[in-house]
Structure 1
Amino acid sequence: MSGDLAARQAELVAALVAGGPLPPGFAPTPVDAARRALLRKRAGDVARHWPLLAAGLGADWPATFTGWADGRPTNGSLRDGWDLARELRDRGALPPLGAEELAAREAASRYDGRTAPRPRRLPAVARAGGAVAAQLAGRVRLLRPAPR
């Protein structure tokens, strides 16, 4: 019996946060409302870790983030923001503030998109959206801001 409950709970969680199908016996409207509320909460958490990215997108931040995150399980706020910033960069839609923040993060840490970011030990230079940042001895400096 508890295995059935655990399986149903897992199905509900998948429907709420990972784009899974709605489990039988649940009303779609309340589940969709809860899913949207969780996406808004997640957007706020990511904005706290990526304040310049969120500020650069301004009023478009909630829609941009929720459109990207809907159907994706979270990897944590830091990694979700990093993945979104990289995707926006690749599409040419990364705002200048977000480009500067991404360049600084890429200079400070290694992140392969699968495992947790790790601090860089050697000097590094990173570029994103025209911004250039460098890390030397653990300090990151923005060498060139993104064009506005």
Structure 2
Amino acid sequence: MSTPHPAGPTPPTGLAARQAALVATLVAGAPVPAGFVTDRVDAARAALLRKRAGEVARHWPLLAAGLGDAWWGTFRDWAAGRPTAGSLRDGWDLARELRDRGALPPLGAEELVVREAAHHYDGEQPPRHRRLPAFARAGDAVALQFAGRVRLLRPARR
């Protein structure tokens, strides 16, 4: 006679549960778990967020340059409490949110339209290269992808 299996995965206990809680605190904005020094956890969270901002800036250099001195504060405010989806997708999601709020700088708008003309990204699945011609617009910036080549037809006003 075999023993029945539980209906779903069992939640982690002991050390695994404490590790999972700490990771959620560091990267997803969960509260500091019991037994951890809040100041040290906050310092580690800030360091990881700065590292994440640097990675996103490497994938989205024009967005970061367009925001200039406001880059760190803008990224920090946007990313706090959000788990990462990867540097490319984090930058894409940030750029789209800034566009929707009317706060996307011209360099960021140009970078966004070039990416959106070249790739399909629905905000859920990883970006995929477009096969068919595509047109993208953010503010004044307009880009066209045809036959695998992307052209910035109109740069954003500066």
One-letter code of the match for 2:111? E
Return the match for 1:51 from 26, 50, 61: 61
Deviations 1:114-142 (A, max 9, x none): 11001000000100121000101111110
State the SS of the aligned residue for 1:140: strand
What SS does the aligned partner of 2:123 have? coil
Gap runs ≥5 in structure 2: 1-11
The equivalent residue for 1:65 is 75
Provide the C-alpha distance between the structure 2 equivalents of 1:135 and 1:7, rounded to a whole number of angstroms.
Answer: 48
1:97 to 102, 107, 120: 107
1:75 matches 2:103: no
Aligned to 1:88: 98
Where does the alignment leave 5 or more consecutive residues of structure 1 unmatched? none
| Structure 1 outlier segments of 4+, above 2 Å | none
- Which amino acid is the alignment partner of residue 118 of structure 1? R
CA offset digits 1:74-95 (Å, max 9, x no partner): 0000000000000000000000
Higher helix share: 1
Counting only pairs closer than 5 Å after superposition, residues 1-148 of structure 1 correspond to structure 2 as 3-148=13-158
Q: Report the Cα distance in structure 1 between the residues aligned to 2:130 and 2:19, rounded to whole angstroms.
A: 40
Q: How many residues align structurally? A: 147
Structure 1 SS opposite 2:24: helix
Equivalent position amino acid for 2:49 in 1? L
Percent of aligned positions that are identical = 76
C-alpha deviation, 1:147, in angstroms: 1.1
Instruction: Work out which of the two has the higher radius of gyration on C-alpha atoms and give 1 or 2.
Output: 2
**TM-score after normalising by structure 1:** 0.97
Partner SS state of residue 26, structure 1: coil
| Superposition deviation, residue 38 in structure 1 | 0.5
The separation in 2 between residues aligned to 1:34 and 1:85, in whole angstroms, is 26
2-structure distance, mates of 1:129, 1:100: 9
Give the counterpart letter for 2:133 in structure 1.
P
